[in-house]
């Protein structure tokens, strides 16, 4: 393979990575966005699968402090909703050696 062929393949890979690394994240991101949207507040924006995918290309800007605090508020809301769920709907985490 010549240097120019290698450069061409590298450029093509940058446009369309054939290893599928991004596609492995897409199904998980779809599930995560669905779960988050089902549990979000009425005044929150709907989340997209891309909100849960890594930024491989670095195209997205850095998160602002407000973005990070928004994620903490969402986690707090989901935690409160879980605490208010009927006890039969809760999941009990059992550590090794603990009785079920």
Mean pLDDT of the chain: 78
Residue 33: CB atoms within 10 A of its CB come to 19
Domain boundaries, the chain: 20-55+62-86
DSSP string, 72-100: HHHHHHHHHHHHTS-GGGSPPP--TTS--
Which among 59, 58, 51 is positioned nearest to 26, based on CA atoms? 51
pLDDT digits (tens, 9 = 90+) for 26-68: 888 999 999 999 998 888 899 999 888 877 666 666 778 888 8
CA–CA distances in Å: residue 94 to residues 43, 97, 98, 99: 35, 8, 6, 7
- Per-residue confidence at 10, pLDDT binned at 50, 70, 90? confident
The predicted pLDDT at position 37 comes to 92
Q: Six-digit token pair at 51?
A: 């909100």
The overall pTM is greater than 0.75 = no
CA–CA distances in Å: residue 64 to residues 11, 45, 67, 69, 98: 32, 17, 5, 9, 41
């Amino acid at each position: 393979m010549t240097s120019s062929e290698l450069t061409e393949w590298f450029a093509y890979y940058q446009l369309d990575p054939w290893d599928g690394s991004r596609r492995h994240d897409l199904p998980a991101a779809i599930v995560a966005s669905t779960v988050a949207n089902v549990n979000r507040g009425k005044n929150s924006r709907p989340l997209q699968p891309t909100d849960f995918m890594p930024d491989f290309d670095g195209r997205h800007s850095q998160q602002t402090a407000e973005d990070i605090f928004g994620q903490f508020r969402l986690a707090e809301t989901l935690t409160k909703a879980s605490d208010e769920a009927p006890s039969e709907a809760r999941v009990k985490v059992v550590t090794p050696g603990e009785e079920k």
